[in-house]
Amino acid sequence: MKDNIYSVLIGGEAGQGVRMSGILFSRIMNKVGRHVFEMDDYPSLIRGGHNASLIASSIKPVFSHYEQVHVFACLDDCAYEIQKDKVRDDGTLVYNSDAVEGAEGIPIPVYSWIKEEGNNPVLAGTIGVASACALGGVDFAVLEESIREAYPKYADPNVRLAKKTYDAVSEHIGKYQIETGDGKLGAVMTGNEAISLGAVAGGMKCYIAYPMTPMSSVLHYLAAQAKRLGIVVSHPESEIAAINMAIGCAYTGVKTMIGSSGGGFALMQEAFSLAGQSETPLLCYLGTRPGPSTGVPTYTSQGDLNFALYQGHGEFSRIVMSPADNDQAFTTTAELMNLLWRYQIPGILLTEKHLAESTMTTRFDFDSIKTEELLMYDGNPEDYGRYKITESGMSPMLFPPVENAVIKATSYEHDENGITTEDPQAIVAMMEKRARKRKAIEDGLRQIKTVETEGDGKIALVTYGSTTCSVREAAKYLDDVRIVQVIYLEPFPIWAVEEALQGAEKIVTIELSIDGQFTTLLKQNGIKADGSVRKYDGRPFDPLDLAKQIKEVI
């Protein structure tokens, strides 16, 4: 196995506990000292349909799932028909003999066993976990302990099913004998959870959103943890209500984040421009899935890059940032929150379903984040003007209630006090004030890491967002490459990109877009790619397939 990768697929119908089994197996791998990456595959259905959980683990960091698996735990006939070709030549199929006929592998009477335990279909997932643990050589005691931690109220029937599974595959226990480490390597969490915690670390006190895949889990997670985190979470009646409520919160000095996907964020464009005109800091989390329109709601894409870069109407500054993995998502979310409040602008944290909902080993230090002091007004309240013209473009802030102060926020063009104006000179002065922020933002971005570079090969693989994780894993199978990840996309950090590309003989862009929006963004900034690898079927790259495509391009 390359880097001791152990790849597992658990597949079945909705209601068989497939999602929970993927999380449980990931936690077990973490417990025995292995890095993990887990991805869920599920349809946009209220009930039913095929569900799958793909888990890759390794003694070394692993950044992607693998389509070809060592173990396929097949819980129903639909999963078999869809996924049977994903078993490696040296792989093992463990299948539900009550549902699948004519398969070659290890048969387990899943439905019969579940019926004996009260006929709760969700128990099937435990059989999948137990199969993967047994074939990987995980001691049963570790599995039992993990089951009891995960399902304290329903531990006994799950443990009994796990023991039956170990007995059924007894001749194959330890077939892959995975290497283990010294214990937990960090937390196992989703990208949405890492971003949520990053926002809190950056000072967020309020999260407002209307549910929409892949952002709904942020709402659920923060609502469940609100008291512990000391925040307020609100689910209003629509996306339009959400962003306008958020602007109101920010007006009072409360750091606020909203979340949505493309269709929901499209409804927010007018209010996004309102934040630009009123100079209201607002962190907008945009999770990308394939479009246009409803598209493919539960899969992944990078087709909203231009949508984020050019969000809203009129001319005003914004920052667009896209993290690669959980650790980076945590730190850059907090960093972006600070930047937006420093420059008093709206901004977009752009990510994809692949990062938002995938689970991976995560190691960040919550206490490492420092929130910076805001630019506050300290003069006579009666003299306060919200839009004081300054050399930097940023005006001192004041939050209500303050006695004898008038604190204006407006969607109209205005003077320094926020009074509506149509005077040409006043319009020019205020437009130029806001425009000066861009220079200040660029100066600020030069002080932080806007581009991440890994390796020093002659072939530069240039990418962004969660596709970076796929590229990292593919790079293990390539020679003489370097990875260049652009973290901040607007303003585009051309100075850092050019430095990262020094000495490169070829440039290959990699993205989940049919139009090559990222490739075009580079070209607009004077960087022409020699080749491009694109994928647009709603699925992330498989590392082995990606490595093959990169070789063909170069």
**Mind listing the pLDDT tens digit of every residue in the chain (554 residues)?**
456 899 999 999 999 999 999 999 999 999 999 999 999 999 988 778 999 999 999 999 999 999 999 999 999 999 999 999 999 999 999 999 999 999 999 999 999 999 999 999 999 999 999 999 999 999 999 999 999 999 999 999 999 999 999 999 999 999 999 999 887 789 999 999 999 999 999 999 999 999 999 999 999 999 999 999 999 999 999 999 999 999 999 999 999 999 999 999 999 999 999 999 999 999 999 999 999 999 999 999 999 999 999 999 999 999 999 999 999 999 999 999 999 999 999 999 999 999 999 999 999 988 889 889 999 999 999 999 999 999 999 999 999 999 999 999 999 999 999 999 999 999 999 999 999 999 999 999 999 999 999 999 999 999 999 999 999 999 999 999 999 999 999 999 999 999 999 999 999 999 999 999 999 999 999 999 999 999 999 999 999 999 999 999 99
Structural domain tally of the chain?
4
How many of the other CB atoms lie within 10 Å of CB of 180?
Answer: 18
Q: Determine contact, residues 195/351, Cβ cutoff 8 Å.
A: yes
Q: Radius of gyration of the chain from Cα atoms? A: 25
**Helix axis angle, 191-201 relative to 326-343, nearest 10°?**
40
Residue 375 lies in a domain: no
Q: Does 429 lie in the same domain as 327?
A: no
Q: Domain check: are 124 and 108 in the same one?
A: yes
CA–CA gap between residue 144 and residue 182 (Å, rounded): 19
Residue 154: inside a domain: yes
Residues 266, 220, single domain; the answer is yes
Task: Write out the DSSP string of 154-208.
Answer: GHHHHHHHHHHHHHHTGGGTTSS-----SS--SEEEEHHHHHHHHHHHTT--EEE
Q: Output the domain CATH number for residue 515.
A: 3.40.50.920
Give the Cβ contact number of residue 155 at 10 Å.
15
Among candidate residues 481, 485, 545, the one with its CA nearest the CA of residue 518: 485
CB-CB neighbours of 380 under 10 Å: 9
For 127, the token pair is 């059989």
Residue 1 pLDDT: 46
Instruction: Establish if 163 belongs to a structural domain.
Output: yes
Decide if 192 contacts 329 (C-beta within 8 A): no
- Predicted TM-score (pTM) of the model is 0.96
How confident is the model at residue 239, as a pLDDT?
Answer: 97
Are 210 and 324 in a shared domain?
yes
List the end-to-end C-alpha distance of the chain, in Å, as a whole number: 26
- 429 to 331, 377, 414, 417, 492: CA distances (angstroms): 36, 21, 10, 13, 26
Residue 235, pLDDT score: 97
Task: Name which of 394, 482, 399 is nearest 441 in CA terms.
Answer: 394
- Residue 2's pLDDT is 58
- Is residue 376 one of the residues assigned to a domain? no
Identify the domain boundary among 420, 445, 470: 445
Separation of alpha carbons 208 and 205, rounded Å: 10
Q: Check if the beta carbon of residue 294 is closer than 8 Å to that of residue 358.
A: no
CATH number for position 279: 3.40.50.970
Q: Answer yes or no: is 374 within a domain.
A: no
Does 156 lie in the same domain as 35? yes
**pLDDT for the residue numbered 182:** 81
DSSP notation for 267-293: TTHHHHHHHHHHT--EEEEEEE-S-ST
- The parent domain of residue 540 ranges over 451-553
My answer on whether 197 and 239 are in the same domain is yes
What local confidence, expressed as pLDDT, does residue 175 receive? 95
Residues 145 and 46 in one domain: yes
3-state secondary structure of 36: strand
Return the pLDDT at 337: 98
**Region of 446 on the Ramachandran plot (φ > 0 left; ψ -120 to 50 alpha; else beta):** alpha
DSSP string spanning 126-147?
HHHHHHHHHHHT--HHHHHHHH
Among 400, 428, 445, the domain boundary falls at 445
6 and 76 inside one domain: yes
- Asked, for residue 514, whether it belongs to a domain, the answer is yes
Statement to judge: residues 81 and 92 lie in one domain: yes
Tell me, what CATH number does 45's domain have?
Answer: 3.40.920.10
SS3 category, 459: strand
Q: Is 75 found in the same domain as 126?
A: yes
Helix axes 124-136, 155-168, angle to 10 degrees: 50
Residue 512 lies inside a defined structural domain of this protein:
yes
284 near 214, Cβ under 8 Å? no
Side-chain half-sphere of 501: how many Cα atoms within 13 Å? Answer: 22
Does residue 226 sit in helix, strand or coil?
helix
Within this chain, do residues 461 and 422 fall inside the same structural domain, yes or no?
no
* 105 and 9 both lie in a single domain: yes
> Token pair 């060592």 is at which residue?
70
How is residue 153 annotated by DSSP?
A: G
